[in-house]
Chains A and B, each alone.
Chain A
Amino acid sequence: MPRVSHAKDLEIIRTQVDGKRNRARLEMVIPNGTCCQASGSAALIDAVRAELARQGLLQDVALRVTGCLGFCEQEPVILIEPGNILYCHVAAKDAAEIVSRTAKKGEILEQFLFADSVSGKRIQQESDIPFYKAQTRQLIRMHRFVDPFSIDDYIATGGYKAIAKVLAGVKPEEIIAEVKAAGLRGRGGAGFPTGRKWEEAHEAPGDEKYVICNADEGDPGAYMDRCLLEANPHEVLEGMMIGAYAVGANKGYIYVRREYPLAVKHARIAIGQAREYGLLGDNILGSNFSFDVEVARGGGAFVCGESTALMTSIEGKVGEPRAKDVHTVKEGLWNRPTVLNNVETWANVPSIMMNGAKWFASRGTEKSKGTKILALTGQVKNTGLVEVAMGTPIRTIVYDIGGGPKNGNKIKAVQTGGPSGGCIPERLFDLPVDFDALWDAGSMMGSGGMVVMDDKTCMVDVARYFLKFLQDESCGKCVPCRVGIDRMLEIVTDIAEGHGRPEQIPLLQELAETVAEASLCGLGKSAPNPVLSTLRYFIDEYTAHVHGRQCPAGVCKALITYAIDAEKCTGCGVCLKSCPHDSITGEKKKVHIIDAGLCQKCGICISECKFDAITVK
């Protein structure tokens, strides 16, 4: 007998968890996602747990290890409830103090509170921190309540209620109508209406259908899908179950990239628990709906984020896309009707079913509904995962949530959509985050990466970076993408290295337009976007490279020289030690010199020098 065979069993589990939670006087939430672990959260958790045991507080204080809460810059953090108190940058060595003073006596330790960068004031409550204030957190908000290893925790948040409700008598057509009415659009990039996709798959003939969760997230600079799958895997599973029921599928796959080992692990554990509880398998919750999910790992290929390539990869083959004249909703995995949505899209489904389309559509713009998680990174003060209502202006995200430029430089642009997207210049920062608005500006939402660039970023170099990326990641099947990207890179490299010719700029434009239309798959079709958008908004930087032979941002190596400012150099010798090319000489406590012949302009000395003595011209 499965543990959950009826909706009322979910209620029982929920009461049990609540009961256990009410016995604890205090809750300490420590996130432990991949990014948190990079900051040392694992050691912190061990230290806190040991300390709680030592001081005999294990009964009194509940420690919950969760997925990422979003504010990665400040990690490792501890969130203390009740009180909504957030301690930032906590190290393992601080555990004893925090446990003995905060957990035992309820004192608030000033030194761990978030310090506002403008006023310098310490902010006690998490909800008052500017980073969180302008956000509308719908999905990320749940992470604090859920230990990803515990299905009970998820059930306690009302989890699996939506599938129970659906199986208790909502028709597939009604689910599809609800998702359509909600206006949910695919969070993976193109923003295709999810309801329409489901409808086509539902209507496609065939008994054997599939649903797939795309957690390949190859976009460098975006990691919300990793975070969602790590932190709340059951929510994604529940979304997939609802989708599978709506289209008539009995089998699902979660395609996770191997570079996300923690997400793979959490997804597998979640699937195991759901099977054990009878929430996956035959006759779920006593209905005649049967469904199971498997994890398929991606081997590290950006192109496998493309739907047809992803499906061939699940089939165990080389992930090359095929022509999509027949849509995957009709002929997808093993040529069966298949619905592919990304993690964030699936995660939005349960709450739509619980709260209704109207509730979901109450946020957002006319054509982009709900919230979107963005990965705010790059040259901005507060980096992390940001969830905002669709339609929020970019300016609000960069300046209010992000806190403005990191190093006091001027922000120049924001890159959205990864290698398929483009750069949006500062003057257009009033644009709302909206699928269509970003598309019209020559970029795209993509999966929601938002990399902030300041005036020390060269846009020609950015175009070159993405072209290099795409040159490696293109599968190489079709000519426009393989050769076209190669030739675009050749031209951009010429420009960056100072031997660009004026006629190469229109050639670049023409080639980019051809690649965009004639390529086989979505990767090739969107590959020229970084070039086209930088040409559109930053043409002056290209002309400066071509006509003036200079790189305004001081990035392109062939066009700059390094020197040591005699006024500032103290002769400490750090640059000399760090230079891997032995191009710096000088005696201790005397001004050092760079040998321009040996210097590779690698920039290591600049990052090591504490006195800003190295200049770039």
Chain B
Amino acid sequence: MAMMNLDSILEGRRSQPHMLVEVMLDLQDQEGYLPEEALKTVSKELGVPLIDVYRVAHFYKAFSLKPRGKNVITICTGTACHVRGSDLLVNQVKGQLGIEPGDTTADGQITVECVNCVGACALGPIVVHNESYCKNMTPGKLRKKIDKAAGVKKEKKHA
């Protein structure tokens, strides 16, 4: 199945080394990550040494070599979001999920990523949940969003 789809991505691009980045972006979008086997095929079909395929995979932020979670929460840490407190959002995630940006929770539900700018700077801080953009985020709003995404209902009681 996955191979079939790889075929359609490679269609019309075989033996064209300059299509490497485009092919890998399509693969990333389709699979959510770059499977090792697929990269070997890409290397062979495009005629690019495997080392160069891996260099590209590690160089661009868009690529991930590990499967990502069902929910991808992307926190924008661009300048405009930074001065409006995107640090707090990162702290919220770290505290709440116990993972660092770039990681996925153990149950595979949530991946948290940081991005340098999504270009909606006037409305910062911005969080992108899967493909929907959320503006003027606060740690509180993010907490609820993550709880919802994780399917957890946690309530801290007064001591």
Interface residues of A (CB under 8 A from B): 34-35, 37-39, 72-73, 75, 217-223, 226-227, 258-261, 296-302, 313-319, 375-379, 383-385, 415, 418-419, 449, 451, 453, 457, 462, 465-466, 469, 472-473, 475, 573, 576-578, 580-581, 585-588, 600, 602-604, 607-608
Interface status of B99 (Cβ within 8 A of chain A)? no
Which A residue sits closest to B13, measured CB to CB? A316
Query: A217, A219, A600: which has the most chain B beta carbons within 10 Å?
Result: A219
Are B79's CB and A465's CB within 8 A?
A: yes
Report whether B134 and A38 are in contact in the complex, using a CB–CB cutoff of 8 Å: yes
> Is A316 in contact with B17, judged by CB distance below 8 angstroms?
yes
The interface residues of chain A lying within 8 Å CB-to-CB of B117 are: 217-223, 259
**A296 engages B62 (CB within 8 Å):** no
Grouping DSSP codes into helix (H, G, I), strand (E, B) and loop, the A interface class, with mixed when no group exceeds half, is mixed
Tell me which residues across on chain B come within 8 A of A217, comparing CB atoms. Answer: 117, 119
B25, B88, B94, B121 interface centre (most CB from chain A within 10 Å): B121
Instruction: Tell me, rounded to whole Å, the shortest Cβ–Cβ distance linking B9 to chain A.
Output: 13
User: What are 25 A-B contacts with C-beta separation under 8 Å?
Assistant: A34-B120, A35-B119, A37-B133, A39-B123, A218-B116, A220-B77, A220-B116, A220-B117, A222-B119, A259-B117, A259-B119, A297-B21, A317-B21, A317-B56, A375-B122, A376-B122, A378-B80, A419-B79, A449-B79, A449-B80, A577-B156, A586-B158, A604-B92, A607-B140, A608-B139
**If A258-B62, A316-B20, A317-B56 touch, does A223 touch B120 (CB 8 Å cutoff)?**
yes
Q: Is A319 touching B59 in the complex (CB atoms < 8 A)?
A: yes
Question: Of all chain B residues, which has the CB nearest A465?
Answer: B82
A297 and B120 contact, CB distance less than 8 A: no
B115-144: which residues lie under 8 A (CB-CB) from chain A? 115-124, 126, 131-135, 138-140, 143
How far apart are the CA atoms of A385 and B121 in the complex, in Å?
10
- The residue on B at minimum CB distance from A406 is B84
Within 8 A of A (CB), among B57-91: 59-63, 77-85, 87-88, 91
* Interface residue B2 (Cβ < 8 Å from any Cβ of A): no
Closest CB in chain A relative to B61 CB, distance in Å = 3
In the A-B complex, the 5 residue pairs with the closest CB atoms: A580-B95, A299-B60, A220-B78, A72-B122, A300-B61
Contact present for B118 and A259 (CB under 8 Å):
yes
Min distance, Cβ B33 to any Cβ of chain A, angstroms: 14
Residue of B whose beta carbon sits closest to that of A304: B60
Q: Is the CB of A608 within 8 A of B138?
A: yes
In the complex, what distance in Å separates the CA atom of A376 from the CA atom of B116? 17
